[in-house]
Structure 1
Amino acid sequence: MKNSVYMNRELSWLKFNERVLEEAESQTVPLCERLSFASIYQTNLDEFFMVRVGSLVDQLLVSKDIRDNKTKMTPKEQISAILSQVAKLNRRKDSVYSDLMEQIEEYGIKLVNFRKIDKKGTEYLERYFDSEIAPLISPTVVGKRQPFPFLRNREIYAVVVLQRKNGKEKLGLIPCGGSVFPRLIEVPGQDGTYMLSEELILHFIPKAFPGYFVKAKSLIRVTRNADIDADALYDEDLDYREFMVEVIKKRKRLAPVRLELSRELDGDIVDTLCDYLGVNKKYVFRGECPLDLSFVFQIQDMLRNIPELFYEKRVPQKSAQFQSEMPILQQIEEKDKLLSYPFESIRPFLNMLREAANDDSVVSIKMTLYRVARQSKVVEALIEAAENGKEVLVLVELKARFDEENNIEWSRRLENAGCHVIYGLDGYKVHSKLCLITRKKEGQVEYITQIGTGNYNEKTARLYTDLSVMTCNPQIGQEAAAVFQALAMGEVVEETETLLVAPKCLQNQVLDMIDEEIAHARNGEPAYVGVKINSLTDKRIMDRLIDASQAGVKIEMVVRGICCLVPGVEGMTENIRIISIVGRFLEHSRIYIFGTGEREKIYIASADFMTRNTIRRVEVAAPILDGDLKKRLKEMFHAMLNDNQQARELLNTGEYVRIRNDKTPLNSQELFYEQAYEQNLPKERS
């Protein structure tokens, strides 16, 4: 019976990416921002194929009987449904891209092909090809002595079918990627008119293969499987960091899971390409828009002087909770603090680290790092602390997917500065956002603990909505210390009283708190669960939420992305309401609320309600104990629930619909920014 209220994880993710595509289609979004959403849709889909489709393809090789534990779909059924849905979404992407570029032309920027330029422009571009591009490209003819070359993941290649006078055919290939020539090439005599470099190469490709007749041609792009289990491959006799370097190299050469074409090619040619690449023909997609939309950000830069094409400029504001003339550590000792990104600046947290690095009373700084900025002020502060003689323990998660190389480099720099660096645990990723500063004052040990929902990354703190609490609560500090002690020993925390710490002490405690609400509801008392997360896939938690709904518990959820639970199903989930907010900033914060009135508990967390978070990672959720901060979080949560501009509601049909009502327009992200700006306005004198 419960199967009827579940949605397949992969198909739910595609619904999320559809909501991203809707932002590209939306007339209410400024034109250049719509271009961004089209590009985000594309890069999201790239990663989906690399990770999720790659995983399903791997499952097919293991067993055809593996089934999704919620909808009971086999890998084959899931792949079939995915490919069908992606084909539909891509047609919408092609359509919206064409529409957007038409509108961009009205502002003096035009992207053309050779059908849209005159003879003079064509002659110039031919000379440009001969002098600037031809010397830098590397044409390959596939033959007995020239094997089919390795195609790099997500790079564009020009492929041609070449024919000799004797009728024999061969394939020719030219890489079109790299940074040796610009992606956008200006057409002379036509201000603001550009051509993509790969289209220029494809047009003049006969010149790269003299002696052949070009029978057919297209641009192609391969997406490779990136789903590689580092723990399963690890040999404990190897240095783990150097092992991860090799894993990254191996991942770059994994089998393709998608082939994209810019033009129609005969079936025989596509079959030949698929044979060379080892990819099934059903994974071949042909599209009308460019195979890589990253160039749209260059177009945006050309149009920055036209404000109407962009969102109103927003800058993270100074938090009203902090006084600039007082030390940060002292202010946290006086009262718990909460930062809300990107509406408030990350600066107080960075200042806290710098203060700790130079404070004589600070004995140690311990921190978990999952994703950090390329030029990380966080890491610089930790290095400064180590150079000042502090004990600095840093867990750098080398398995943070697609950030491994950055993390490897930072781990080396931290070690060179004298920090004690550890790399995570066997079988678990460390995804927690935890920082512990230990001080010794007048013979007493004191803790300053920071727990966040997002990474220690100054760049994403301006783009993602996240929360960060800083407290001197001794019990939270002691449990944070226990987490770091366990990590240093290669272990996980087995028991907690205040923090929720996965993999052993988060899922079970969430279930217990839902059970508590069920008991109150059955006694005829008010009962409530409120959750703000990025994804919901944990079947144990979902089953318990269904039980809670059936018992009469009111459940409200803000789930940005994947949501495998269908609300509003009579007799099952009719007391559950679920919305998704997709807007200017990426919703990334996690809030858990259990209970009402005096027994209400509120947490912020690094964990979504996904099995990978609740039982396969080290995650930390922290209780919000300060009354003012609890009130603020509740107000934020209810503002999101009442968003009628960027929110979509999940219906019992499994479809999402935009929330539109007669209430005052409320965009929760804009509201939080307005509040942050208002806090910094000069106070009127009475």
Structure 2
Amino acid sequence: MENIKCYTNRELSWLQFNERVLDEAGNPRVPLAERLTFASIYQTNLDEFFMVRVGTLMVQMNSGEEIRENKTNMTSAEQVSAILERVKELELKKARIYEQLMGEIDPYGIHIINFNKLSESEGEVLENYFDNNIAPFLSPMIIGKQQPFPFLNNKQLYAYVILSSKNGKTKVGIVPCTNSVFSRLIEIPSRPGTFMLCEELILHFVSKLYENYTVKEKSVIRITRNADIDAADVYDEDLDYRNFMEHLIKQRTRLSPVRLEMSRIINEKSKIELASSVGISPLHIINEQTPLDMSFVFQIQDRLHTKPGLFYKKRSPRPSLSLDLRKSIIAQIEKKDVLLSYPFESMKPFINMLHEAADDTSVVSIKMTLYRVADKSKIIDALIEAAENGKEVVVLIELRARFDEANNIEMSRRLEEAGCRIIYGLGDYKVHSKLCLITRHTKDGLSYITQIGTGNYNEKTSRLYTDLSLITADQKIGSDAANVFRALLLGETVESTDCLLVAPNCLQNKILELMDSEIKKAAEGKKAYIGIKINSLTDKVIIDKLIKSSEAGVRIELIIRGICCLVPQIHGKTDNIKIISIVGRYLEHSRIYIFGDGENPSEQKIYIGSADFMTRNTERRVEVAVPVYDQDIKNRLLHIFNTAMSDTEKGKELGNDRIYRSRYTESEKSVNSQEIFYDETYRPSAIKNA
């Protein structure tokens, strides 16, 4: 592994990304109430990381087979050990930031307190509240021979109590603290705006639930379970696939634990016994100094909405300058390709186009791939309208979109009941592409309108994620898209394409060829350039080609929000590679691939697509990227890329020591790319002159 010094472990790189999210919670230049959101996002991100990535590594560890990661050569056990060590460090950082946040919120009349800060009379009021409004709804348990250790639900809160009976025997008590009857935040009646977390109230008065025992030690605990079920490994083809997936979702909630969090330290013997009872190593127990569930911060935000300056300036998606919603969208697309940029521009033109297609007598069929959709989806409504109007509507809905399976199952039923033809993901490949094909029969014959995007067909996330959507009447692109759907309907993947990049067979290899072209230019003494904006970079084949490109003298700029397994600026290897990550108000989600420095615009190739450069995307999913032919749209994409690359407010640059450093300086006017893009949509002349 000659390039090993150029690699970073995937899991540790992801933890760096989540630390950048945590940094936003502690960033004084972010509005105070918004920093609470970043603190909560940090926790939910980490929960999912343990449920999926750590869960997968632990399954590998328990398989008995030594599996090594293909870049840093770490075993699964080594990775888990390194993850736990790093997470414990990050949790200390989170505790400092949380304490800082609570201190800054205090002057605005919101206080989260514990019993140490209550007067005796206030304690009596809370005790009365506990007796009448909480205790009757609790189900305390004693663990013994007749009462085995209960199953602890994923991510729910429990009071864990070590008890001593009158005869001196030690017992364990467990009280579920998650309940829909009482609020998570309990307001102190004599102090408006002052709250106590319900689990802390329960823990304080837990002795009242065990009157025949003495409470020796106590803690709030929270367990995280593996959620990484591979449907392909357990699927019985004789079963209905949708029913099978529903069963699998239920099974996920009872998988093996991967982490146990505790709000207080207990004695080592009891800690080992608790670990044994839940089936986890004591090394996976993490002592926290912050609440184990941070979702209550949104209740705090509700209380702060009347306070000026604590939230981001209100922004809403603007109409696209390229389209007139009063006229036929299809007719306008036939004249010129259109690029929509979310959340700065509205998704409405695309939704309007679907409704127009539903009513257009020339439209024969609408085909779409759906990965994640909103729970009240206008796109689903448009497809149902088309089917009810007699159009052929074919929808590939991926039931294995992790944590969205239940919503996708429900949507598939709605579509099917309306007369749409539903197909599910391919057996060996998830279908992650964002592809829509409208087929028309006009006086001139067969005609296609094709939409290819970087993000899901989800109206909600289109207001929160930065994504791109190209709509084109280019017939070669339409023909390629038709071939993609033809293959999907046969349960296959396309083997070749004319212009689209389509994983798993026609994306990675074509990206490598495009990189080889830049290497060849550099060898000939010409300017050579690669610019990539993606969410994650883990594909070793592509990483090695980037290293080779750098060695050849190709200038490379990478904008990678999350995982990045490539280390830049390594002497003699990655000197020509610059890598930044942007974590800001909106989740960076768009993917742009640029080949060529633009000196000769006709030779520069630019694509947008659904694929990150991860092995799962390039080899194990159906992904689609589309070439951009329209020079105006090319220029706009270059503007988006270059502006993001120059971001000094939210952009952090990765060094050869594997550390991300802020590019912000007090002496210079900072560049916030996301705010610039919104300003441009509010001031149309700005983008025209860009």
The TM-score, its normalising length taken from structure 2, stands at 0.97
Measured in 1, the distance between the counterparts of 2:371 and 2:182 equals 34
CA offsets 1:404-432 (integer angstroms, 9 cap, x no match): 11111111111111110111101110000
CA offsets 1:57-80 (integer angstroms, 9 cap, x no match): 111112452111001111121111
**Partner SS state of residue 307, structure 1:** coil
Q: What is residue 652 of structure 1 aligned with on the other side?
A: 656
Measured in 1, the distance between the counterparts of 2:163 and 2:414 equals 51
1:582 partnered with 2:583: yes
C-alpha deviation, 1:114, in angstroms: 1.2
Q: What is residue 621 of structure 2 aligned with on the other side?
A: 617
CA offsets 1:422-467 (integer angstroms, 9 cap, x no match): 1110111000000111111126111111000000111110110000
Measured in 2, the distance between the counterparts of 1:610 and 1:372 equals 23
CA offsets 1:452-508 (integer angstroms, 9 cap, x no match): 000011111011000000001101111111111111111001100100000000000
1:220-299 correspondence runs (5 A): 220-299=221-300
Measured in 2, the distance between the counterparts of 1:205 and 1:327 equals 66
Measured in 1, the distance between the counterparts of 2:570 and 2:422 equals 49
Q: What is residue 70 of structure 2 aligned with on the other side?
A: 69
Measured in 2, the distance between the counterparts of 1:381 and 1:124 equals 55
Measured in 1, the distance between the counterparts of 2:685 and 2:438 equals 29
Measured in 1, the distance between the counterparts of 2:300 and 2:247 equals 37
Q: Name the aligned partner's letter for residue 622 of structure 1.
A: V
Segment drifting more, 533-542 vs 167-176: 167-176
CA offsets 1:210-266 (integer angstroms, 9 cap, x no match): 211111111000000111111111111111111111111111100100000001111
Measured in 2, the distance between the counterparts of 1:522 and 1:676 equals 41
Measured in 1, the distance between the counterparts of 2:265 and 2:112 equals 21
Q: What is residue 677 of structure 1 aligned with on the other side?
A: 682
1:568 partnered with 2:573: no
Measured in 1, the distance between the counterparts of 2:64 and 2:43 equals 30
1:591 partnered with 2:596: no
Measured in 2, the distance between the counterparts of 1:116 and 1:33 equals 27
CA offsets 1:294-346 (integer angstroms, 9 cap, x no match): 01011001101113111111111111111132111111111100000011111
C-alpha deviation, 1:120, in angstroms: 2.3
CA offsets 1:336-385 (integer angstroms, 9 cap, x no match): 00000011111111111111112111111110110111111111111111
C-alpha deviation, 1:660, in angstroms: 3.2
C-alpha deviation, 1:664, in angstroms: 3.8
1:362 partnered with 2:363: yes
Measured in 2, the distance between the counterparts of 1:63 and 1:354 equals 54
1:497-536 correspondence runs (5 A): 497-536=498-537
Q: What is residue 34 of structure 2 aligned with on the other side?
A: 33
1:170-249 correspondence runs (5 A): 170-249=171-250
C-alpha deviation, 1:145, in angstroms: 1.3
Segment drifting more, 174-183 vs 631-640: 174-183
Measured in 2, the distance between the counterparts of 1:109 and 1:547 equals 55
Q: What is residue 95 of structure 2 aligned with on the other side?
A: 94
1:437-448 correspondence runs (5 A): 437-442=438-443, 444-448=445-449
Q: What is residue 538 of structure 2 aligned with on the other side?
A: 537
Segment drifting more, 254-263 vs 75-84: 75-84
Measured in 1, the distance between the counterparts of 2:550 and 2:680 equals 34
Cα pair 1:370 1:397 within 8 Å, conserved? yes
C-alpha deviation, 1:617, in angstroms: 0.1
Q: Name the aligned partner's letter for residue 511 of structure 1.
A: L
**Partner SS state of residue 211, structure 2:** coil
Q: What is residue 668 of structure 1 aligned with on the other side?
A: 673
Measured in 2, the distance between the counterparts of 1:306 and 1:496 equals 55
Q: What is residue 429 of structure 1 aligned with on the other side?
A: 430
Cα pair 2:398 2:408 within 8 Å, conserved? yes
**Partner SS state of residue 285, structure 1:** strand
C-alpha deviation, 1:191, in angstroms: 1.3
Q: What is residue 309 of structure 2 aligned with on the other side?
A: 308
Measured in 1, the distance between the counterparts of 2:249 and 2:8 equals 33
Equivalent residue pairs, number: 682
Measured in 1, the distance between the counterparts of 2:671 and 2:218 equals 50
- Name the CA shift for 1:680/1:574 in 2 (closer, same or farther; >3 Å): closer
Q: Name the aligned partner's letter for residue 376 of structure 1.
A: S
Q: What is residue 466 of structure 2 aligned with on the other side?
A: 465
Measured in 2, the distance between the counterparts of 1:91 and 1:652 equals 26
Q: Name the aligned partner's letter for residue 197 of structure 1.
A: C
Measured in 1, the distance between the counterparts of 2:125 and 2:360 equals 64
Measured in 2, the distance between the counterparts of 1:103 and 1:665 equals 25
- Name the CA shift for 1:201/1:528 in 2 (closer, same or farther; >3 Å): same
Measured in 2, the distance between the counterparts of 1:178 and 1:375 equals 27
The TM-score, its normalising length taken from structure 1, stands at 0.98
**Partner SS state of residue 73, structure 1:** coil
1:7 partnered with 2:8: yes
- Name the CA shift for 1:151/1:680 in 2 (closer, same or farther; >3 Å): farther
**Partner SS state of residue 254, structure 1:** coil
C-alpha deviation, 1:127, in angstroms: 1.8
Q: What is residue 633 of structure 1 aligned with on the other side?
A: 637
Measured in 2, the distance between the counterparts of 1:622 and 1:265 equals 57
Cα pair 2:325 2:349 within 8 Å, conserved? no
CA offsets 1:252-303 (integer angstroms, 9 cap, x no match): 1001000000011111111111111000000000111100000101100110
Cα pair 1:64 1:76 within 8 Å, conserved? no
Q: Name the aligned partner's letter for residue 31 of structure 1.
A: L
Q: Name the aligned partner's letter for residue 651 of structure 1.
A: G
**Partner SS state of residue 661, structure 2:** strand
Measured in 1, the distance between the counterparts of 2:358 and 2:137 equals 49
Give the superposed CA RMSD. 1.2
Q: What is residue 601 of structure 1 aligned with on the other side?
A: 605
Measured in 2, the distance between the counterparts of 1:417 and 1:124 equals 56
C-alpha deviation, 1:178, in angstroms: 3.4
Measured in 2, the distance between the counterparts of 1:207 and 1:357 equals 64
Cα pair 2:581 2:653 within 8 Å, conserved? yes
**Partner SS state of residue 326, structure 1:** coil
C-alpha deviation, 1:665, in angstroms: 2.0
1:389 partnered with 2:394: no
Measured in 2, the distance between the counterparts of 1:520 and 1:90 equals 48
CA offsets 1:143-173 (integer angstroms, 9 cap, x no match): 1111111111001011111211101111111
Measured in 1, the distance between the counterparts of 2:422 and 2:308 equals 46
Runs of 5+ unmatched residues, structure 1: none
Q: Name the aligned partner's letter for residue 620 of structure 2.
A: R
Measured in 1, the distance between the counterparts of 2:387 and 2:525 equals 57
CA offsets 1:548-606 (integer angstroms, 9 cap, x no match): 11111111110000000001111101011111011111100000001132210000010
Measured in 2, the distance between the counterparts of 1:82 and 1:540 equals 25
